[in-house]
Amino acid sequence: MKLKTLFSSISPYKKELHKPYIIAEIGVNYEGSMELAKRLVDEAKEGGADAVKFQTYKADTIASKESPAYWDLNEEPTTSQHELFMKHQGFWVDEMTELKNYCDSVDIEFMSTPFDVESATFLNDLMDVFKISSSDLTNKPFIEYMCSFGKPIILSTGASSLGEIAEAVSWIDKYGNPLALLHCVLNYPTPDENANLGMILDLKTRFPDKLIGYSDHTLPKDMKVCEIATLLGSVITEKHFTHDKTLPGNDHYHAMDKEDLKVFRKNLDRTFNILGGFKVEALEAEATSRREARRSLVAAKNIPEGKIIDKDDLTFKRPAHGISPMHIDEVIGKKALKEIKDDMVIKWNMLN
């Protein structure tokens, strides 16, 4: 399924859970290498991702030279955002176009988060859906610029108050773009106890007409955090993706790799097998139990032929081969057409 189709195929008002659309956030983990970027695309595809997402920026347009770090300096020792972004900037129009074409060739959706007007403009020709970073949730002019392309928007909500989210939603609603909100916590990495997945439920309540998803920064481990997010109603899962979690750098150590992604897919398959359907109904597998473990009305004593049956003539026992106790009021007052012996299951053909 293409991501833009998700917005029309899943109703946020329905109660069913869905396997999430999985976005492998490669970001800048390709380390400036086209060969590695394509390898990451291949591995994301092998792991079961529906889309890969890169990041497109220039250091000079995303951060001032005085911007301090907000990540774990033990894992990424660079203390300046501008300095870190200078290390990883590089892929621009030609490279992103090549990656888009490569993604098409291996049948995985291409995305990249723009961080300035220039990148948003050229990425518009390469993507069906715009992803807006949590860091730009309060960036009204930039959000409005991306909305002007008329495409669905995915907006991460990390480090945001409810009021800030509501205001950003109002800017997007003004343009009428379909919108998905991703719960997100801006810790790199996010300890499991800080994931606060319960916020997904609040987003669903506060914004019932929007799709709700989850952008994850926890350590992958067994991918349980992303699985729990799905069970709370997340229909989009976005998580950083790498080929080697031991590499230094801001987005490698908390990223998943293809094996983590396979585990997530396998766990989801088992979970949704267990979930089964979302409508209350008796299952075919329960037919024998319905017949043998439920009760019938049973003669509590010998009932002579012609007797008008009263409550004292009846009890209820297994199996459910006769008249259900739910019909007791209809049975009382009827005449026995023949003798009904003690402990006999009562059937309609025995009664007037």
How do residues 152-167 score in pLDDT, each as one tens digit? 999 999 999 999 999 9
pLDDT at residue 84 tops 80: no
pLDDT at residue 133 tops 80: yes
Residue 64: band (very low, low, confident or very high) from pLDDT cuts 50, 70, 90: low
pLDDT recorded at residue 238 = 98
Q: Which long-range contacts (CB under 8 A, 24 or more apart) does 290-295 make?
A: 290/320, 291/319, 291/320, 291/321, 292/318, 292/319, 292/320, 293/318, 293/319, 293/320, 294/318, 294/319, 294/320, 294/324, 295/319, 295/320, 295/324, 295/325
pLDDT recorded at residue 78 = 65
Omega into 319 within 30° of 0, i.e. cis? yes
Cα dihedral 34/262/112/136 (nearest 10): -130
Query: Would residue 240 be called left, alpha or beta, if left means φ above 0 and alpha means ψ between -120 and 50 degrees?
Result: beta
Residue 67: band (very low, low, confident or very high) from pLDDT cuts 50, 70, 90: confident
The SS3 of residue 86 is helix
pLDDT recorded at residue 88 = 63
Q: Residues 258, 239: contact at Cβ < 8 Å? A: no
Fold of 10-275: TIM Barrel (3.20.20)
Q: What is the mean pLDDT of the chain?
A: 94
Nearby residues of 182 by Cβ (< 8 Å), 6 or more positions away = 154, 155, 156, 157, 212, 213, 214, 215, 236, 238
Omega into 304 within 30° of 0, i.e. cis? no
pLDDT recorded at residue 69 = 67
- Beta-sheet pairing, 21-27 with 51-56: parallel
Q: What is the mean pLDDT of residues 62-80?
A: 70
pLDDT at residue 82 tops 80: no
Give me the residue label for tokens 């992103």. 96
Indicate the DSSP class of residue 327.
G
pLDDT recorded at residue 15 = 80
| pTM of the predicted structure, to 2 decimals | 0.89
Q: What is the mean pLDDT of residues 287-314?
A: 97
- 249-295: pLDDT as tens digits: 768 889 999 999 999 999 999 999 999 999 999 999 999 999 999 99
Query: Would residue 113 be called left, alpha or beta, if left means φ above 0 and alpha means ψ between -120 and 50 degrees?
Result: beta
Architecture of the CATH domain 285-350: Alpha-Beta Complex (3.90)
Could you give the residue range(s) of every CATH 3.20.20.70 domain in the chain?
A: 10-275
Residue 13: band (very low, low, confident or very high) from pLDDT cuts 50, 70, 90: confident
- Tokens representing 22 are 């999985």
Residue 178: band (very low, low, confident or very high) from pLDDT cuts 50, 70, 90: very high
- 114-130: pLDDT as tens digits: 999 999 999 999 999 99
Q: Residues 241, 256: contact at Cβ < 8 Å? A: yes
59-75 core/surface letters (b: 16 or more CB in 10 A; e: else): beebbeeebebebeeee
pLDDT recorded at residue 61 = 67
- 30-54: pLDDT as tens digits: 989 999 999 999 999 999 999 999 9
The SS3 of residue 296 is strand
Residue 351: band (very low, low, confident or very high) from pLDDT cuts 50, 70, 90: very high
- Tokens representing 257 are 């790799």
Q: What is the mean pLDDT of residues 81-93?
A: 73
Could you give the residue range(s) of every CATH 3.90.1210.10 domain in the chain?
A: 285-350
- 188-222: pLDDT as tens digits: 899 999 999 999 999 999 999 999 999 999 999 99
pLDDT recorded at residue 66 = 75
Rounded CA separation 133/160 (Å): 12
pLDDT recorded at residue 68 = 77
pLDDT at residue 321 tops 90: yes
User: 81 or 107, which is more confident?
Assistant: 107
